Every structure is written in structure tokens, then in C-alpha cells.
């Protein structure tokens, strides 16, 4: 009997242990935020904030140095080991206010951040958008939604180096801009994620392309519909078993978004973001190349009409996709990214070579690709030390990662 | 004893009822008694759907089939299968979706007091997801590796061979994190 009771308890514990937890609420200062009373900073002012800053106060959290980088939606502050701060900004008189939240990208710690730049510590200069950069951001950070109580002071150290500013380095974020498993507030491979990812430092995205039963390319990573990526719904099994209509009716991604078609997502990327690189990772459904190419061409034309300088490439992850592409009429006109050998890159006339990072920096082959007018990016690097080494020692034009803020830090802190 | 050995043993035992039926009556308790039970009744899916929850039909009929080896007076070991429809969801314009399951569980059963048993079991399940309406029928079969049940039953003997009773059971399907409970009328025969 004791064994049975023990067994029942273990089963209940197992059931509870399987309970999913995919959310980490973003702390918010709420309606009492000082930003509700401020004027928005102009872009020139935000650009003046960019640079390398020394940290004082609680340096054990953010280290000795951080980079401050403006993006389309927010101001990103990133350090070397995955801690980052996302800030909104505004000014009142000659004082600049910065409020937002911090996260440990490699864990689940988060909290509020509140900073200000006094008028004599760079505030006047930032508000007017002129002058030298001699900025001190003073404030505090806290845990979760508690009021910030730990001192944080960021003092401007230097601007980004010419190398960092003038080199186009593609910071490609995985799965549409971020993984669901990293407790982001929007779902991977969703339109919402594409709109969110720039605040993490991404300049491009990788997306997972599948083909529905009615031959419409859509985005989804896993080989089956599951409660890791989707809210619990009535459909189960491989997503390509279903029509796009059925997927949109019965499936919601983990944060409630519908599964997007490839065309919807590319159109949003072009129209509503500043992302400059889309890497379409083909999941290998037979016939998908011939369905994706027309959408790719249409979206590249749309981008050209809007004056958007964006790379949209079809990934070639294996021989099946390569052979399908080679069988496509006028395949050399299809912008592609080949993950295979450099010979395969030449065979497909791919615009981008994308070797696995574990093969090393392969400087000679990367140089060959550059000499042929191609780009080279590598995938998927997540460890800060490897990211640092590949940026400092490699010749790649970018890398794919789940931690774009770490890549931002190591790219922009280069001397 | 490995699961494979137990299953093999059960299968070998299953081939022996005819031989036992021809045996003379004896007052000596046998260590090799078997029972076969079939149940039918109401199935209720515990609605944890986040999509289509308000369009779901979560009540249906279900069947169960159990074979037990009863080596002594309290504990039994057996295999259980059955057919359960978890839910049917009608959604426009997507069609109608049904989810059904056929579990195959290894059960341990214990008689607590006369005729009253508690049981728990774990094993595999095949889950069948069908969608119909508007477009062609689409079927997916999913293997769920981690499933379990626990149940309580009252089985009353009518004579030396035949028994009837009722059973209340919870089943969990791990792959989809689904739960159902079922109340069934059970008819069992001692072999």
C-alpha cells in the first residue's frame, strides 16, 4: 500500500513538473512612469547616447563596461555576459529620463531600471542634439517589479570605433528574432517577434520555413505541433499535414499569435522594421523551393520600391534542397545562402556561405568567398566567449545567435 | 523482471485458459488465475484546451479492455487497452477536429477490501487526430510515450466465473498533456 501511495505522489509530482512556464513578465513602471510627462527624444539626441560606457555602482551585475546602442524602438545597453537593459527615453527641460527593464538573457532574472542624465552631465547636449559626448547616466535598478534600489552609474568612455561603426556586421537572431524557450514576451517565428527583436540588438533574422498541405509557405520550427511552442489546441502532429487555413483557425503560438505565412512575415519585415537580412531556413518539405522563390522575388521587388536595402536569402541546409534549387529554372537568379561546402556555394551561385561555427573561423575559405563577392556568416553561436573570439579573430560578415545583445556588445566594443 | 519479460509471460499465460477450463475443481488456491474484463461507459475530457475550448464537445462513450494475472489474493498485474475520444472541436472555417486515443498500459491492481480495488498503471498510447469538413480529411497519428492511469473499481462476483461492477478512472496522456476521466460498467470473467 505504501508503494502505491508513493507511486501516486510521484505521478502527481511528475504531472506538476511538466507544467509549462514560457513567460517572464516584463517589469513595468506603470502609469506613474516619469516618461508619461516627458517629450520624446529626437533621433539625433538618441544617437549622441551611443558609445562605450564605464559602469560604477553595482558593477557585479553589469560588469565594468557596457555598450549603449540606439535602435528603431528603444535604447539597448548590453554587457559581455548576457545582461541587457531595454530603455524608453524622454526629456523634460534639459534632463533626459531613461526607463525600462533589465534581463539576464541566460537566466530568468529581471527588474526595473531608471536612469537620468542631469543637465550638467550631458542632458543639455543630448536634448539639443549637439556638443561633445560627456554623458553620465545616474540611477538604479531593482528586482522584478520592485522599485529600483541598487545604484547604477554609467559614464561615457568613448565612441564606437570606426571599425565597429563602418563595418556592416549582420547580427542574425534565431527563429524570427528570438526563441520561445528564452522566455521572451512574444513567440518565436511570429510577426510580433520580428517587431520585437531589434530592441535586443538584432539587425537580421533567421526564420523556419515549412510548406502547408495546400502548398503555402509558413513559419514554424518544430516537426510537430506541441505545447512547447503553441497554446494547447485541438490539432496535433506535423504542421505540414494541415492547410494554412486550418493552422490559422486552430493553432495559436505560445503567446497567442497566429502562425504567419512567409509572405505576411516578409511584408511586415520590409514595411515595419529596419532589419536588413532575412535568412529563410528551409525545413526541407518537398516542393517548397518552387513555392518560396516567387514570394521571395515579390518581396525583394517590394523592398526595392520602398528603398529598403535588405538581403532575403533562401537557405540551403542539405543536398535535397540544393538539388531542388538546381532544378529550378534560372536558379542562379535566386538569392540563396548555402550551409554546405564552398563548392556547393559556387554550384548554386549562392550569395552567402554559412558554415557551421564548429568548423572554425576558416579564414582562407571566407577570404575566397569575399573575393568572389559573396558574404560569409556562421551559425549558431551562443556562448559569450565564442562570440567574442569569432568577432575578434574571424572574418565573417555576421553570425546567427540566440543572444543578439551579446553579439552587439562584442561587435560595438571593438577598438 | 523487465517489462519485456512480464509482457512475454502475460502472453504465454493468455494461451492457457482452455487448459485450465478442463481442469477438475480443487479447493487448493491456484497461483495462476486470470481475468478478462471489458468496460463501456461515459468519458469526460478535462477541458484544458486554450484554443477552441468553448467549441469542444468533451463528453463521449468509451471502451476498455483489461487482462489480469491474479497470482495471489490481493495483488494483480495486467495489461489494459481501450478506446477513448477526448474531444471534438468544430471551428469555422477550419472544419471539425477530433482527438482519440488507444492506450496500452501495464497495470498493478490491489484489492483493498472485498470486491473493491485500486489500480495504477503506465504505458504507451496512440493518439489519433482527425480533421474533416470543407477540405479533405486529414489524419495524424501520434505516439505518446508517457501516459498513466489510476482507478477505483467495485467488482461483484455473480458466480465462480462471472463478475460485474463499475469503475472510475483517470487517464493522463503525456504527449498532449490531456486528462480524462471515465465511469464505466465492467463485466469480467475469471478464466
Residue A292, SS3 per DSSP: helix
Nearest C-alpha of chain A: how many angstroms from B140?
Answer: 6
CB contact under 8 A, B56 and A246: no
- Chain B 68-97, residues with CB within 8 Å of chain A CB atoms: 87, 89, 91-95, 97
Domain spanning A165-412: CATH 3.20.20.190:
yes
First to last CA, chain A: 70
Q: Is the pLDDT of residue B16 over 50?
A: no
Summary mean pLDDT of chain B: 86
Give a yes or no: residue B104 inside a domain: yes
Q: Is the pLDDT of residue A19 over 60?
A: no
Arithmetic mean of pLDDT, A353-367: 97
Q: How many domains does chain B have?
A: 1
Q: Is the pLDDT of residue A263 over 70?
A: yes
pLDDT reported for residue B26: 46
How many percent of chain A have pLDDT more than 70? 95
Arithmetic mean of pLDDT, A355-381: 97
Listed by start position, the domains of chain A span 34-159, 165-412
pLDDT in tens, B51-91: 999 999 999 999 999 999 988 778 999 999 999 999 999 87
Give a yes or no: residue B12 inside a domain: no
- Residue in A144, A114, A140 with CA at minimum distance from that of residue A33: A114
Among chain A residues, CA nearest to B151: A8
Give a yes or no: residue B51 inside a domain: yes
Q: What's the whole-model pTM score?
A: 0.86
The secondary structure of chain B in percent helix, strand, coil, rounded to multiples of 5, reads 10, 70, 20
Give a yes or no: residue B22 inside a domain: no
pLDDT reported for residue A105: 96
Give a yes or no: residue B116 inside a domain: yes
Q: Is the pLDDT of residue A87 over 70?
A: yes
What are the two backbone dihedrals, phi and then psi, of residue A197, each rounded to the nearest 5 degrees?
-65, -25
pLDDT in tens, A230-250: 999 999 999 999 999 999 999
pLDDT reported for residue B23: 45
Arithmetic mean of pLDDT, A10-23: 55
Among chain A residues, CA nearest to B140: A237
CB contact under 8 A, A8 and B94: no
Q: Which of A234, A243, A251, A256 to mutate to test the interface with B (most CBs of B within 10 A)?
A: A234
In eight-state DSSP terms, residue B52 is: S
Domain of residue B114, CATH code = 2.40.160.20
Burial class of residue A329 in the structure, from the number of CB atoms within 10 Å of its CB (0-12 exposed, 13-18 middle, 19+ buried): exposed
pLDDT reported for residue A147: 87
The count of other CB atoms within 10 Å of the CB of residue A3 is 10
pLDDT in tens, A159-203: 999 999 999 999 999 999 999 999 999 999 999 999 999 999 999
pLDDT reported for residue A22: 62
Summary mean pLDDT of chain A: 93
Which residues on A lie below 8 Å from B141 (Cβ)?
A: 237
Q: Which of A1, A232, A241 is opposite residue B140, by nearest beta carbon?
A: A241
pLDDT reported for residue B2: 57
CB contact under 8 A, B50 and A232: yes
ipTM of the complex as predicted: 0.75
Give a yes or no: residue B114 inside a domain: yes
Its domain, for residue B185, covers 31-190
Give a yes or no: residue B179 inside a domain: yes
Nearest C-alpha of chain A: how many angstroms from B83?
Answer: 18
Q: Is the pLDDT of residue B172 over 70?
A: yes
CB contact under 8 A, B177 and A233: no
Distance CA A249, CA A327 (A): 35
Query: Residue B133: pLDDT band by 50, 70, 90 thresholds?
Result: confident
Q: Which of B87, B108, B142 is opposite residue A234, by nearest beta carbon?
A: B87
Query: Residue B19: pLDDT band by 50, 70, 90 thresholds?
Result: very low
Arithmetic mean of pLDDT, A45-65: 91
Contact A262, A219 (CB under 8 A): yes
Give a yes or no: residue B108 inside a domain: yes
The count of other CB atoms within 10 Å of the CB of residue A263 is 17
Which residues on A lie below 8 Å from B87 (Cβ)?
A: 234
Q: Is the pLDDT of residue B21 over 80?
A: no
pLDDT in tens, B34-62: 999 999 999 999 999 999 999 999 999 99
Nearest C-alpha of chain A: how many angstroms from B52?
Answer: 7
pLDDT reported for residue A29: 79
Distance CA A9, CA A113 (A): 42
Amino acid at each position: 500500500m505504501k508503494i502505491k501511495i508513493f507511486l501516486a505522489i510521484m505521478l502527481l509530482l511528475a504531472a506538476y513538473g511538466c507544467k509549462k512556464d514560457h513567460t517572464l513578465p516584463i517589469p513595468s513602471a506603470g502609469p506613474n512612469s516619469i516618461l508619461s510627462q516627458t517629450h520624446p527624444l529626437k533621433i539625433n539626441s538618441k544617437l549622441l547616447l551611443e558609445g562605450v560606457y564605464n559602469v560604477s555602482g553595482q558593477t557585479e551585475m553589469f560588469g565594468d563596461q557596457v555598450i549603449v546602442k540606439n535602435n528603431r524602438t528603444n535604447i539597448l545597453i548590453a554587457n559581455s555576459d548576457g545582461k541587457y537593459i531595454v530603455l524608453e527615453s524622454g526629456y523634460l527641460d534639459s534632463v533626459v529620463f531613461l526607463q525600462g527593464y533589465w534581463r539576464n538573457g541566460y537566466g530568468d532574472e529581471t527588474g526595473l531600471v531608471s536612469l537620468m542624465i542631469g543637465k550638467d552631465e550631458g542632458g543639455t547636449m543630448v536634448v539639443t542634439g549637439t556638443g561633445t559626448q560627456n554623458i553620465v547616466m545616474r540611477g538604479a535598478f531593482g528586482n522584478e517589479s520592485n522599485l529600483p534600489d541598487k545604484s547604477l552609474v554609467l559614464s561615457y568612455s568613448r565612441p564606437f570605433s570606426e571599425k565597429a561603426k563602418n563595418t556592416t556586421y549582420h547580427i542574425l537572431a534565431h527563429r524570427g528574432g528570438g526563441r520561445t524557450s528564452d522566455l521572451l514576451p512574444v513567440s518565436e517565428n511570429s510577426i510580433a517577434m520580428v517587431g520585437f527583436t531589434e530592441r535586443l540588438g538584432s539587425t537580421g533574422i533567421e526564420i523556419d520555413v515549412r510548406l502547408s498541405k495546400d502548398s503555402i509557405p509558413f513559419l514554424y520550427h518544430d516537426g510537430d505541433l506541441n505545447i512547447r511552442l503553441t497554446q494547447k489546441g485541438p490539432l496535433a502532429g506535423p504542421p505540414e499535414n494541415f492547410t494554412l487555413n486550418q493552422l490559422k483557425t486552430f493553432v495559436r503560438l505560445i503567446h497567442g499569435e497566429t502562425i504567419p505565412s512567409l509572405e505576411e512575415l516578409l511584408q511586415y519585415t520590409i514595411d515595419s522594421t529596419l532589419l536588413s537580412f532575412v535568412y529563410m531556413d528551409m525545413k526541407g518539405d518537398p516542393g517548397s523551393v518552387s513555392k518560396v522563390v516567387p514570394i521571395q522575388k515579390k518581396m525583394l521587388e517590394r523592398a526595392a520600391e520602398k528603398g529598403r536595402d535588405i538581403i532575403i536569402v533562401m537557405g540551403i541546409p542539405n543536398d535535397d534542397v540544393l538539388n531542388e534549387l538546381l532544378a529550378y529554372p534560372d536558379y542562379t537568379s535566386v538569392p540563396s545562402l548555402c550551409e554546405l561546402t564552398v563548392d556547393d556555394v559556387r554550384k548554386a551561385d549562392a550569395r552567402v556561405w554559412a558554415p557551421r561555427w564548429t568548423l572554425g573561423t576558416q579564414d582562407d575559405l571566407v577570404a575566397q568567398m569575399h573575393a568572389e563577392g559573396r558574404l560569409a556568416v556562421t551559425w549558431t553561436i551562443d556562448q559569450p566567449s565564442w562570440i567574442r573570439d569569432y568577432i575578434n579573430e574571424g572574418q565573417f560578415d555576421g553570425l546567427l545567435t540566440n543572444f543578439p545583445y551579446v553579439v552587439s556588445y562584442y561587435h560595438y566594443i571593438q577598438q | 523482471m523487465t517489462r519485456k519479460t512480464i509482457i512475454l509471460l502475460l502472453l504465454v499465460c493468455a494461451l492457457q485458459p482452455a487448459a485450465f477450463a478442463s481442469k477438475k475443481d480443487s479447493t487448493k488456491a491456484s497461483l495462476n488465475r486470470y481475468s478478462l474484463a471489458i468496460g463501456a461507459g461515459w468519458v469526460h475530457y478535462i477541458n484544458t484546451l486554450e484554443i477552441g475550448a468553448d467549441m469542444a464537445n468533451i463528453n463521449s462513450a468509451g471502451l476498455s479492455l483489461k487482462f489480469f494475472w491474479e497470482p495471489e489474493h490481493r495483488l494483480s498485474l495486467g495489461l489494459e487497452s481501450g478506446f477513448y475520444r477526448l474531444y471534438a472541436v468544430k471551428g469555422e472555417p477550419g472544419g471539425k477536429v477530433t482527438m482519440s486515443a488507444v492506450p496500452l498500459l501495464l497495470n498493478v491492481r490491489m484489492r483493498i477490501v472485498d470486491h473493491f480495488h485500486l489500480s495504477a498503471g503506465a504505458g504507451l498510447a496512440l493518439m489519433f487526430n482527425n480533421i474533416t469538413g470543407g477540405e479533405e480529411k486529414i489524419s495524424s497519428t501520434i505516439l505518446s510515450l508517457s501516459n498513466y492511469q489510476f482507478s477505483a473499481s467495485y467488482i461483484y462476483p455473480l458466480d465462480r466465473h462471472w463478475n460485474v461492477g463499475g469503475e472510475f478512472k483517470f487517464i493522463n496522456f503525456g504527449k498532449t498533456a490531456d486528462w480524462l476521466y471515465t465511469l464505466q460498467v465492467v463485466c469480467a470473467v475469471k478464466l
